Amino acid sequence: MVGLDCIFERLDGRCKTTMDQRRSQHTCFSILILLLLLTFTTIIAAETAITKEGDWIVSSAETVRDKRIRLNGNLILEPNAVLTMEDCKLEILGTRSREHLVEWKGGTLITLNSTLGGFVNDNDAAIHTVFHLYDGLWEATDTILQYTYGVSFHWKEGHGILKGTRLKAGPRPDAIICSGQADITLIDSDFPIALGVYTNKGGKTRLDLPTKTPITKVYNAETLTPSVEWRLDMKNTTVGHWFVFLRNIGMNNPPCEVTLGQSKRLIVSLLGHNLTGDLNLCNDLSQPIKLGNVTINKAKTPPDISMFAIYFSGDKTDMNIYGKTHICELMHRGGKLNLSGTSGQNDLSIGCTTLELSGTAEMNLQNIHLGRPITWTSDGAVGEANITDNSKLTGHNVSIRDVRFHTRDKGQVSIKGIDKKGKVEVRKEGGDVELEYNTSPD
């Protein structure tokens, strides 16, 4: 250790430079370099990804530590499964968002100091996964979720339990989507929350949803509406973004009135079946929004609604949608939707965080913008328009910025009068895509 002491003395300017000391210094420097190389090699080895092809099905007790796993398949937790992941990173791969997921079938997932979610592919497109906590337990401690379309629970049956302690949001995390019979406890966490307000039994509720400040509060049927069966217990938990999911909207259900109070950057999601009529989306609620049995009012201090999301189903759906706003996510199965903005302004936009048409859905766009609005700074992500089954997407006078059109089965896309504002990509796995530009695309 004489040489090592000499090194430190020399750093302090106090070492004599005799020949023996130089030899000792040279030896110690060599040892230090060797140690650094070994440490660096260990770090590289720890960061080396393990790629798993196909579904990872867990049916018993498994423990994984200090691994980076790239899974090109689903993670499935069978009834007797107990999967523990400590100091790990799990990336769910795929060619499109929602292709693969994490699915609970009665099992348990324990994550400690780990990061889970989707990934960014070689084309800089974010591929999102989804966590289906339909029936089972997730104990997430010091865990980060990234590139997801949310932690969702079964809308009817199954008992999903989430216990999060210091659960954090990574890039593009979406939200914990409270629905069904979920039982959620969050302690000292920081994550977006989607409150599932069930409307099928009617009722009234007022929601004041603070952001960026720790909250200790319980949400359940007593604080929301009579048909809510889930429970959210938050202790010292911060919500950066709130979503309000108005579920089970119908034409013949009892009246349901939702009053929205002060909240920043609120996202309002509308979920309904076989809805008909006109829907005028208004960010400041200067006019109440009416859809089926639901009326959305503003409190004296109105909310700051940043955008909407739409999830419709049913072959009898026949809706006309207007407004000067942004629809971040739109999923539609069966029936018809017509969306119209202002001519020459395209002031009704669909972000294509995901745009999903399936079944026999038909959607027509007039004076609409697809993709991230032009006034927003680009984040480099490419939106997705997935047209599957026998669905059809048509349009005229549509501006497009950074969107990939993906058809499968017999899905059809036909859009004319396109004003190209950024990337437009096409991927066909069945079906066809016809895009007619106002000027020749680059």
From the CB of residue 338, how many other CB atoms can be counted at a distance below 10 Å?
A: 16
User: Whose structure tokens read 């190209």?
Assistant: 420
CA dihedral for 309, 350, 368, 405, sign (positive or negative): negative
Query: Which residues of the chain are modeled with pLDDT < 70?
Result: 1-47, 440-442
52, 94 Cβ separation under 8 angstroms? no
- Domain assignment present for 275: no
Measured between alpha carbons, how far apart are the two ends of the chain, in Å?
67
Residue 67: inside a domain: no
Q: Which residues contact 302 (CB under 8 A, 6 or more apart)?
A: 260, 261, 262, 284, 285
Is 302 inside a domain boundary? no
Q: Residue 74 has which token pair?
A: 């689903």
Looking at residue 118, its pLDDT comes to 97
Domain membership of residue 257 (yes or no) is no
- List, in order, residues 6 or more apart from 20 with CB less than 8 Å away: none
Q: Give the residue from 11, 31, 46 where a domain finishes.
A: 46
Q: Is residue 358 in a domain?
A: yes
pLDDT given at position 380: 77
Is 340 a domain residue? yes
**pLDDT number for residue 14:** 38
The pTM of the full predicted model, rounded to 2 decimals, is 0.80
pLDDT for the residue 13: 42
What was the pLDDT predicted at 379?
A: 76
- Amino acid code (one letter) for 278: D
Whether residue 309 is contained in a domain is answered as: no
Residue numbers of the domain that contains 20: 2-46
What's the confidence (pLDDT) of residue 393?
98
Q: What pLDDT score does 377 carry?
A: 87
Indicate the number of domains in the chain: 2
**Residue 245 falls within a domain, yes or no?**
no
Tell me what pLDDT residue 115 has.
98
